[in-house]
Amino acid sequence: MPNKLLPLLLLAPLTATAVSARDIEARFTTDKTNYLSGEPVFVTLTVNNRGNEPIWVDFKSPDMPLLCHDFAVEVSEAQSAHKWGCGAAGSCGRSFKEVSPGASITLWQLLNREFRLQRLGAYTVHGHTTMVVHNQNLSESSIIDQFEVSDTLTVKVQRSNEGRLKAAFQPYVEELNSPDPMKRSQAAVAITELAPPFLEDALVELTKSSYAYAAISALRKADTLKTREALAQIATGTGDSMLRIEAIRNLGRTNDPTYLPTLFQLMGPDNKQVQNAAAQAAGNLGGPAAVPQLAALVSSSDAETRSAGANGLGDAHASQAVPILIGLLLDSDANVRQAAVSGLWLLTHRAAFENNQWPDVSSPESSAAVHLRWVRWWNSHRSDSEIHGLTDCAPARSLE
């Protein structure tokens, strides 16, 4: 039997309408209670319209705007699976969801994408959101009602092995070809987010589908020889440049230094976006070993190439990169100077703040003053300054 939450508590209607509070029901469910370790766990919110008029629903999840979910889930016994990069940001493009008379809509989240369910045993899952009901598909339309949806599920994680886990994933592999778009989407999310290594063939095939962007990241997560080679093939291919760039970024996160020469090759001048992505990936993957190649970029007569080199140096987690970036604060191009400011922050967690404002490097004159402050600081702290990487971002502190 599905693991179900009680129907939501309906609050008093805000305005008179043909659709009454009694006509709307919502509940959370999971497919079952017991799951294998590593098996996809989907939490579903189903909204039913038992009335005679259509409604349009908007969801105000407590985790917005950090996340773009229609509802929030909390698992107090598990750690969050999210790792936010330095300066990561985004926005949520949202629209109302129509629920026809006598019909329902289903929303879902993959719990394993949000939380690390690594411990065997029971987890308490709290699902909640605010559901705002409108009488038209217009942001300025009247609000019919507003409901709080909140309750608790129990999910139990059991010991597993590769054979049992393969069997658990097989229905998702089959549903990649389902005529139902929601089933296809759920299957693709389950496979690409969890990326079990034994599904490497399915992941490679997904890079040729509409789920290619997510599949490319999944290749890196699966981390097999075949998936890493597939990343390199996409990165060096002639396909969609955005997919190539995503493959390059993930190749730089594989921790496999055998692909560093490939990234160096991609740092050529033919495609500036590819060059920049390859420089950053090379810095991330190669660290100090990549600094000489990145330093060669910053000596170029082309400003975009110098910016790419500066961006790569900022990702290199290498003290050798700091004096090169300090020198770039005097570059003739303002974009290169700004890339140097960002790179120095990433490496040292420091910035030459001026009255609590980020340093002004918009002009050669202001940049010269910032350069002088960095030279003095580095001369005093080069031996004791901790150098940071992309995985340990923090707010910048002042040089003084």
Q: In this predicted structure, what is the pLDDT of residue 66?
A: 57
Q: Domain map of the chain by residue range? A: 3-159, 161-251, 287-400
Averaged over successive runs of 10 residues, the pLDDT of the chain (400 residues) comes to: 43 35 85 96 94 89 71 90 55 78 94 93 94 85 86 95 97 96 96 98 97 97 98 95 97 96 94 97 97 97 97 97 98 97 96 92 96 96 90 84
pTM comes to 0.86
Q: In this predicted structure, what is the pLDDT of residue 379?
A: 95
**Residue 138 CB contacts under 8 Å (≥ 6 apart), including other chains:** none
Q: In this predicted structure, what is the pLDDT of residue 7?
A: 41
Q: In this predicted structure, what is the pLDDT of residue 93?
A: 61
Query: Domain 161-251 classified CATH 1.25.10.10?
Result: yes
Question: What is the length of the chain?
Answer: 400
State the architecture of 3-159 in CATH terms.
Answer: Sandwich (2.60)
